[in-house]
Amino acid sequence: MMKKSLPLLALLLLTLQSLSAYNIVQEEMKPIQTNPADIWSDRGGEGPNVTCGYAKVGENVTFFFRVGSPTYLRIVITKPDGSEVEVMKSSQVFPGITYRFHQLFVDPGMRVIKLIGYSGNVLDYCTIHVVTSFTGGDVWTEAGGRGPQIDGGVLIAGNPVRILFSVNVTSEVQLFLYGPERKEELLFSGRLEGGKTETLLLEGLKEGKYTLKLLQGSKILDSCDFSVIKPVERVPPSIRISSINVNGSVVSINGEAFPGTPNASLIISWDWGDGSYEEGPFPRMHRYEREGKYTIRIVAKQSDGLSANFTYSVLIATSTTPTKIAEGSVTSEVKTMNATKEETVTIVEEKTPSELIAFILGALASALIITAISRILKRT
């Protein structure tokens, strides 16, 4: 039994010797991860294909890696110019062990550190940004402020406020909030991973102006101002119709639509009842192809989601004589406030001159006949 285990032990010792030749050492035993392989740095990046953070030129960075099953792999670093440097030749590694190695970067730019398997496939990688400047940071709100000292926008009181902040190099930072009464409140204190965005949710902020300050010691990395205001009351829009005219098969509608909520925008849509739809402001004109009764629906939709609608029924005749709506059937007094109202538009036919003459002649003839009959009756 002892003789059979000697070759396996010798192979393990040979592997560890090979790893030490590339200045790669193993650390304490850790549970096997579900992902097949992972590489990260002391600045972050644990997890599949996650950034390893930021480092300054001339700074020594410690990298870690582990695998989920026994395999052969090598480690390659892709430089900013696209060239590659092999920092570990193909070696056998085992699960349950965290390996580490150190790397010094002497010029700025982004590097990609890759774990390459036996068949040449990339098992995992992470990127590290090498910078020449000192630690920088950014703090902003969900309403704005991304970038150095940019205004954080306006938020509504009563709603939770989302605060976001990050640094370019892993470091110890503090985040302070200054309220309307200039009271200082510590929101965060601790180590922040370079390139990672941290999020906080603030509740119960009163109306007023606020300032966020992100500090590293006494150094201000970034600041951001934002305002909290009262909730804006949402009011539905209204539609006012001033006239509807029908000329044969053509209907013309004039009126106005007003937003209810301040600074809201409106979109007016038209459903003519014959399968035709369109969008646009007043006035509007539409031609029908067939006679009949049609229901016209006008909808004013507000940018905050509220809407108002107005509905009309109009009768279209096939007469070639121009027709119009009776006076006073639709006036400027008609309104809607987010409600539906239906009106039947009555078409009044106008008499032509020939029809009027015939009517007068008929009346005269009837009068003469009645007079003649009455005289005959008197004689008898």
SS (H, E, C) 79-116: CCCCCEEEEEEEEEECCCEEEEEEEECCCCEEEEEEEE
Q: Residue 341: its pLDDT value, please?
A: 34
Q: Which CATH superfamily is domain 38-131 in?
A: Macroglobulin (MG2) domain (2.60.40.1930)
Q: What is the residue type of 247?
A: N
| Structure tokens that stand for 19 in this block | 């790893």
Buried b (16+ CB within 10 A) or exposed e, 322-335: ebebeeeebeeebe
Q: Residue 98: its pLDDT value, please?
A: 93
Q: Which CATH superfamily is domain 238-316 in?
A: Immunoglobulins (2.60.40.10)
| Structure tokens that stand for 70 in this block | 């026994």
Residue ranges per domain, the chain? 38-131, 137-229, 238-316
Q: Residue 324: its pLDDT value, please?
A: 45
Q: Residue 147: its pLDDT value, please?
A: 80
CB 267 within 8 A of CB 301: yes
CB 43 within 8 A of CB 128: yes
* Averaged pLDDT, groups of 10, the chain, 380 residues long: 50 47 50 66 79 81 92 93 91 92 88 92 89 82 87 89 90 91 88 87 92 91 92 87 92 93 89 94 94 94 90 81 40 34 34 54 70 69
Rounded to 5 degrees, what are φ and ψ at 306? -80, 155
Q: Residue 59: its pLDDT value, please?
A: 82
Same CATH topology for 38-131 and 137-229: the answer is yes
- Distance, CA of 24 to CA of 4 (rounded, Å): 29
CATH class of the domain defined by 137-229: mainly beta
For residue 219, count other CB atoms closer than 10 A to its CB. Answer: 11
- Distance, CA of 344 to CA of 363 (rounded, Å): 34
Provide long-range contacts, Cβ within 8 A and 24+ apart, for 12-20: 15/91, 15/92, 15/93, 15/94, 18/91, 18/92, 19/88, 19/91, 19/93, 19/99
